[in-house]
């Protein structure tokens, strides 16, 4: 429950620092004489599974609503499917608990010293296995605690998770073994990080470098019920264009960012009148437009033109009205844009039918031209993949943007969680981040995590603010998730040492 209340919109980042202490105490206390080896390991695994189930069920509760509303599944079925998904994700805290118990059996209370690395290793697994779902990693709880969050510029969100876990482990050491001196060392280390981070965020050197650019953000607040009504399509499109004009008239705006699928059900490629309106807007304002739009590859079947592939895409329209580049979304949303293992999961038939073939995944890191510069965009939940965003910067992106349609989530915790996770990318990469969300939260975040502009959810809004196009690289943008991979290697090495220690004991 402490993990649940470490995240928005109901939680507070301070709770995260003690959230894992109860579990770590349970895992490192000496068991009774009747509880040995295999039983002790099973107990640890189950404790971790329950922890993970409550943690992830409590923060991802909104998935049931999404599946019910957009998958045509009754609430009971949606809850069951969500429970199964959460049970899978809970395996990672369960593995953490089992590993920690095994290390505690081999090395005693000293195993608490490596808890931050073991936790980080399991979070890394959650990012990659079965395409990953790295939502609410523990480090994200500190996205608004800017003195601490600056550490992400060096070790990324995974390193931030490790820092948070270190305090829980230190407190567990006090409870189990009265280990005051190690705890004092950990607290002193965190305070040093916070002092350094506060100095970095206050100095904000990157906000005085690079080329300035005024950016407009469109938040049309188009509800899904409106988007599904084809009779309203033209009205919605012109409303979005009108908001873009509102941004452009606010003075010397060089880029307007519109949300994911902002002109749906129209597309840039297949509706000449729609494309012409966008091109005219760009030419008359001498500004670039970043437009979220579906994109289709067509083929002929039995004399009929049908889509062979469909992509969730972002089009960069230059000031002269031409299309500069198109980025196709690489990481698709499970249960939203595709059904994982849908050929096996026959019991989710209604959801499979509702999503249909879904979207196809793009496969290129396409940068978007902006005059003599290049920028990047992440579509929807792609922004929670730190390595994907880092690769864009590695290719030369000078500004991060993300476009999304969070109307699916309603007034749940998801839009707040999503915004804070996006903000973490700005700190990691040392880049400004511009976020356009259909129903909010839209905003601008500087390279230190300061939120310069921010909208409310479910309000039509136009935001305008200044960003800077930057080329300076943070340590994290250069080396990526080295800390996380090192944590995984260390965890495996310690398990091997524990296994050999057991063999020697048995001999």
* CA atoms of 507 and 504, how far apart (whole Å): 5
The reply to whether 226 belongs to the active site is no
Helix 75-107 crosses helix 115-128 at what angle (to 10 degrees)?
140
Q: What is the spatial distance between Cα 458 and Cα 456, in angstroms, rounded to a whole number?
A: 7
Give the closest residue to 281 by CA, choosing from 290, 292, 271, 270.
290
Question: Which residue in 153, 290, 246 sits closest to 461, CA to CA?
Answer: 246
Q: Is 454 helix (H, G, I), strand (E, B) or coil?
A: strand
SS3 156: helix
* Contacts for 332-340: CB closer than 8 Å, 24+ residues apart: 332/131, 332/358, 332/359, 332/361, 333/380, 333/381, 334/85, 334/131, 334/133, 335/63, 335/66, 335/67, 335/71, 335/81, 335/85, 336/66, 336/70, 336/408, 337/312, 340/130, 340/131
> Phi/psi at 409 (nearest 5 deg)?
-80, -15
Inter-axis angle of helices 152-177 and 21-28, to 10 degrees? 50
Query: Catalytic residue at 420?
Result: no
What does 264-276 look like in DSSP terms, one character per residue?
A: TT--TTT-HHHHH
Q: Compute the C-alpha angle 13/15/19, nearest 5°.
A: 125
Report whether 261 contacts 408 (CB < 8 A): no
Say if CB 219 and CB 460 are below 8 A apart: yes
Q: Cα separation of 313 and 323, whole Å?
A: 13
**Residue 260 annotated to the active site:** yes
- For residue 240 the two structure tokens come to 């979005």
Q: Give the active site residue among 123, 329, 429, 453.
A: 329
Closest by Cα among 175, 24, 35, 44 to 102: 44
Catalytic residue among 123, 380, 420, 428: 380
Q: Which residues pair with 95 in a beta bridge?
A: none
Q: Catalytic positions, please?
A: 260, 329, 380
């Amino acid at each position: 429950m402490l993990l649940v209340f470490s995240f928005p919109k109901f939680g507070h980042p301070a709770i995260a620092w003690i959230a894992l202490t109860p579990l770590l105490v349970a895992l490192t206390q000496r068991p009774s004489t009747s509880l040995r080896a295999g039983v002790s390991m099973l107990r640890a695994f189950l404790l971790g599974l329950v922890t993970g189930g409550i943690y992830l069920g409590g923060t991802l509760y909104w998935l049931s609503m999404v599946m019910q509303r957009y998958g045509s599944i009754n609430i009971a079925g949606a809850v069951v499917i969500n429970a199964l998904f959460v049970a899978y994700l809970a395996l990672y805290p369960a593995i953490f608990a089992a590993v920690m118990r095994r290390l505690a059996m081999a090395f005693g209370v000293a195993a608490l010293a490596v808890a931050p690395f073991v936790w980080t290793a399991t979070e890394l697994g959650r990012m990659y296995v079965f395409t990953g779902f790295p939502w609410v990693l523990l480090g994200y709880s500190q996205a608004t605690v800017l003195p601490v969050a600056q550490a992400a510029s060096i070790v990324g969100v995974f390193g931030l998770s490790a820092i948070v876990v270190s305090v829980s482990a230190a407190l567990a050491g006090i409870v189990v073994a009265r280990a005051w001196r190690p705890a004092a060392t950990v607290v002193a280390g965190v305070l040093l990080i916070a002092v350094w981070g506060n100095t970095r965020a206050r100095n904000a050197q990157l906000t005085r470098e690079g080329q300035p650019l005024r950016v407009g953000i469109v938040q049309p607040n188009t509800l899904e019920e409106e988007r599904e009504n084809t009779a309203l399509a033209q009205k919605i499109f012109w409303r979005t264009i009108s908001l873009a004009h509102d941004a452009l008239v606010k003075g010397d705006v060089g880029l307007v960012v519109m949300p994911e699928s902002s002109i749906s059900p129209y597309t840039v490629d297949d509706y000449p009148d729609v494309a012409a309106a966008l091109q005219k807007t760009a030419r008359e304002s001498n500004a670039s437009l970043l437009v979220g739009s579906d994109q289709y590859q067509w083929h002929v079947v039995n004399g009929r033109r049908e889509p062979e592939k469909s992509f969730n895409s972002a089009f960069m329209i230059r000031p002269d009205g031409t299309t500069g580049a198109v980025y196709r979304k690489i990481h698709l949303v499970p249960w939203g844009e595709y059904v994982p293992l849908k050929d096996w999961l026959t019991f989710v038939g209604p959801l499979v039918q509702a999503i249909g073939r879904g979207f196809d995944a793009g496969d290129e890191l396409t940068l978007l031209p902006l005059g003599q510069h290049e920028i990047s965009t992440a579509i929807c939940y792609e922004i929670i993949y730190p390595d994907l965003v880092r690769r864009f910067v590695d290719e030369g992106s000078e500004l991060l943007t993300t476009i999304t349609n969070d109307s699916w989530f309603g007034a749940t915790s998801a839009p707040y969680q999503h915004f804070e996770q996006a903000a973490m990318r700005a700190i990691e990469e040392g880049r400004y981040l511009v976020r356009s969300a259909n129903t909010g939260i839209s905003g601008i975040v500087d390279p230190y995590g300061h939120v310069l502009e921010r909208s409310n959810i479910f309000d039509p809004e136009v935001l305008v603010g200044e960003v800077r196009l930057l080329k300076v690289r943070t340590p994290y943008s250069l080396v990526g998730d080295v800390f996380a991979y090192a944590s995984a290697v260390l965890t495996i090495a310690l398990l091997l040492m524990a296994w050999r220690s057991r063999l020697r004991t048995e001999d």
